[in-house]
Chains A and B, each alone.
Chain A
């Protein structure tokens, strides 16, 4: 038996192609069963996430099975012959290494992300339940999960924040600990503030206040996020109670000045206040950072931290690959 993998991902195929091959989670078992009916194939697993669809097979002749599988997919999706450029093909040990890289998050759009581990596990379990796995794929996937865990525990591939939103959330947690008692105010109903605020809410932030020059937009965003709209003239009053302020208005000059914060310090009992200024030009005057209990981060500071996080993860790739090679070398996996 030989192991093979045919797949496409965010690097090889545009979304228009990827979405044609996407398989919904409840259909993963049926897709694996269908895969295993391919002439010559004995086992099959289908992995499908928003960024990739991959078909893992065990067949007596890997090259022959690849040709058959590709032809079947092209025919089913009515793709022209040019579609072949979107696929990558891995056989034997290359396929095993590739799966370990996928499970470890090394092949993900966001390097080191952890969600993929669960998604692959789900795909494998669906195939297992459908009875389409055997000695080759069972050992391969179990080994890959072990390698994925080892990579995560022995390297810092998943450490640090790599996007502006996640940096802001991590900083908020470093200041306030659990966010369940934290209240957030959004100044300006822009997309970036919405995403950042959503991240804070997903980590438990208690309530959201939205203030925008257009009250209708503030109300719409507040409704979306289960928060409360605040008239733009009243944002200073809301400042008395909130812990985090995310600002991204299109104002041509600073909106929050030192005096605005000084005014509410007593009422706030000098509690820490975290300003996330993602607007350009900046909404928060830099002088605000001179207030003792204020932590101010503008878009450059956040982007720099995210970039450092990405660089740190990049530096870990080689270490992760060494672990994968060493772990796979320990076993004589069938099909490789």
Chain B
């Protein structure tokens, strides 16, 4: 049953993305993208709640679950932030990433077939996993908004302003403000996740997972410090945000 929810969520994300892209190509705004993404979120919740009940804990025990949790977090923050900042196009850009993350989770082996209950869940372990993945969802959304900025920036630079995409993209300043706010929120959540990680019972020695997590945190903190204190061009901020998110995916490979 859980896989069916995931499969439907993945298909809905694909349909939402394609639907949105067709609308953008025609030069119209797709308000339906938000509806598709709400449906995606509901199916993701269905998947995560079934997995959570089976495990009797937060469903973050294998890479597949983490990827779905990440996709859920990305969808959730898109729905919270996208309409508020009137950047409905963000959904069109987010849907393909949600589709990719969930498709990866569906690859054989990433999602364990029998979800066994976790009889001794540790609160800090659950908090560490949940808050960290939530943070990566926010940072993924910052990456998506950055890509939108890079597309707009390129079009403005080379005076290619005829496309439906250009007409529908929100102003460059609004995108940069969104990127910066998402970076602050994501980094704050990441900080809490790392603190929770340090409070976990010391069952495992310091390993590469912690090193990569700290490196990612330092990267985001440095980016925000440079942006705040010295200033940064929109293009550099956007490129660094995308690069840091791709780098942060290493975390998932080290699990």
Contacts and interface: CB of A to CB of B under 8 A. Distances in A.
B171 A270 contact: no
Contact of B233 (A159, A270, A308): A270
B231 interface: yes
A76 interface: no
Nearest to A243: B173
Interface string B135-171: 0000000000000000010001101011000110111
A162 B152 CA distance: 21
Given A289-B157, A295-B157, A175 B173 contact: yes
A227 interface: no
A334 interface: no
Given A289-B157, A305-B161, A176 B173 contact: yes
Nearest to B27: A156
B156 A177 contact: no
A272 B231 contact: no
A176 B175 CA distance: 10
Given A269-B230, A301-B159, A308-B162, A292 B172 contact: no
A174 B173 CA distance: 8
A173 interface: yes
B171 A272 contact: no
Interface residues of B, number: 22
Interface residues of A, number: 22
A327 to B, nearest CB: 22
A177 B161 contact: no
B92 to A, nearest CB: 18
Interface of B: 27, 152, 156-157, 159, 161-162, 166-167, 169-174, 230-236
27 contacts: A156-B27, A159-B167, A171-B156, A171-B161, A173-B171, A174-B156, A174-B166, A174-B169, A174-B172, A175-B156, A176-B172, A176-B173, A177-B173, A177-B174, A266-B230, A266-B231, A269-B230, A270-B236, A272-B172, A292-B233, A293-B233, A293-B234, A293-B235, A295-B156, A295-B157, A301-B159, A305-B161
CB-CB nearest 7 A-B residue pairs? A269-B231, A177-B171, A292-B233, A270-B233, A270-B231, A293-B233, A177-B173
Interface of A: 156, 159, 171, 173-177, 266, 268-272, 289, 292-293, 295, 297, 301, 305, 308
